[in-house]
Amino acid sequence: MTTLKAAVIGCGSIAQYRHLPEYAANPLVEIAAVCDSNLERAEETAAKYGARAFTDYKEAIEMEGIDLVSVCLPNFLHAEVTLAALNAGRHVLCEKPMAASREEAEAMNEAARANGKKLMIAHNQRFTAAHQKAKELIESGKLGRIFSFRTTFGHAGPEGWSADGADSWFFNKKEAFIGAMGDLGVHKADLLRYLLGEFTEVGALIATNAKENTEVDDNAVCVLRSESGAVGTLAASWSYMGGSDNSTVIYGEKGTLHLEADPEYSLIEVYRDGSSVQHKLDKIQTNEEGGQTTSHVINHFVKSVAEDKEPLISGEEGLKSLEIILAAIESQKTKQIVPLKKGVLAE
């Protein structure tokens, strides 16, 4: 099979810990180009992976032979660089949140269609073993009708993981657009849609109360209603100082699923009759682990391109997950419940 040449745009932490090592480990891929506004960082990364270094993303994208582009940049640049890559005839894997508005996301999806290229958004929660097993159990009817849920994604904040620490773009509203909701909440929105289907209403309380010298949100709690009638909560936070929480609980008429909520068992089934099933499955990836990890995102993207199949988290899927976060922001502004229609904000 022909080797696919990749260009990684942005050499910060998400590229260093996820995209670059996972591309390097994939036998179908050659890392041909890396790009960063910091020349020293770009050159160091290029030397490590035997790639060419660039500081201009357009030059990296347009390098002869590039097939794949990973967009690992501050949120406000996701749409701009993705559009450039798609229009240059490259397949794109874009970090989340995919864009800073519905309009940007729709333009990205249109460019993918117009150019006949894959667009995937780097949500990794669907690939977690416990989440895939939970989807299987829910769809089998073993839990009966789903009544409620709660999901949380929180840690102490990006300054402990970002390449630029406390000076990271994550805290700059112009570059980040949103804070914990875009960093963590959109992952959980995507997971809930994967497990429970589309949502019809979103309400939210969003705050900046844990970090200083920033205008982006660092704490948010959302209330959501699914098309099937289930109601529950989604929390995203940069204030969990004692350790991260990436758990989800699904409550059904016959039992409850506890996902990534136990240190030993990734999935626990508990039923009304008192019986339970405990599953030891591969644990979810965390930033605290450090070093190289396997998110499964890169391999899925590469396989989608190699086999000419639609990726599990396409640009269209990415937009629907983004819409939940945009609705939460609207709810905070208006102090009202915001309706969704077929997975997107109602007109």
Domains and CATH numbers, the chain: 2-122+295-312 (3.40.50.720), 124-282+319-337 (3.30.360.10)
- Burial-class residue 336 by CB neighbours within 10 Å (0-12, 13-18, 19+): exposed
Q: What is the mean pLDDT of residues 65-86?
A: 98
pLDDT value at position 346?
57
Predicted pLDDT of residue 291: 47
CB atoms within 10 A of CB 289: 10
Average pLDDT, the chain: 95
Contact between 203 and 197 under an 8 Å Cβ cutoff? The reply is no
- At residue 163 the predicted structure's pLDDT band, cuts being 50, 70 and 90, is confident
Residue with tokens 């909560």: 233
Q: What is the DSSP string of 286-320?
A: -GGG-S----SHHHHHHHHHHTT---TTBHHHHHH
- Residue 268: its pLDDT value, please? 98
Residue type, 170: F
335: left (phi over 0), alpha (psi -120 to 50) or beta: left
Q: pLDDT tens for residues 87-143?
A: 999 999 999 999 999 999 999 999 999 999 999 999 999 999 999 999 999 999 999
Q: Is the pLDDT confidence value at 152 over 90?
A: yes
DSSP strand pairing (29-35 vs 4-9): parallel
pLDDT classification of 63: cutoffs 50, 70, 90: very high
Q: Which of 144-153, 224-233, 260-269, 293-302 has the lowest mean pLDDT?
A: 293-302
Q: Tell me how far apart the alpha carbons of residues 321 and 105 are, in angstroms, rounded to a whole number.
A: 11
Q: What residues does 31 pair with on adjacent strands? A: 6
Q: How far is residue 38 from each of residues 34, 42, 54, 139, 274, measured CA to CA in Å? A: 11, 6, 9, 47, 58
Nearest by Cα to 118 from 257, 307, 276, 268: 307
The Cα–Cα gap between 292 and 289 comes to 9
Instruction: Give the total residue count for the chain.
Output: 347
| DSSP label of 268 | E
pLDDT in tens, 17-32: 999 999 999 999 999 9
The structure tokens listed for 130 are: 């416990």
* Res 265 pLDDT > 90: yes
On whether the CB atoms of residues 257 and 134 are closer than 8 A, the answer is yes
Angle between helices 315-334 and 186-196 (to 10 degrees): 110
Separation CA 161–CA 305 (nearest Å): 30
Closest CA to 326 of 103, 170, 172, 121: 103
Residue whose tokens read 């669907």: 126
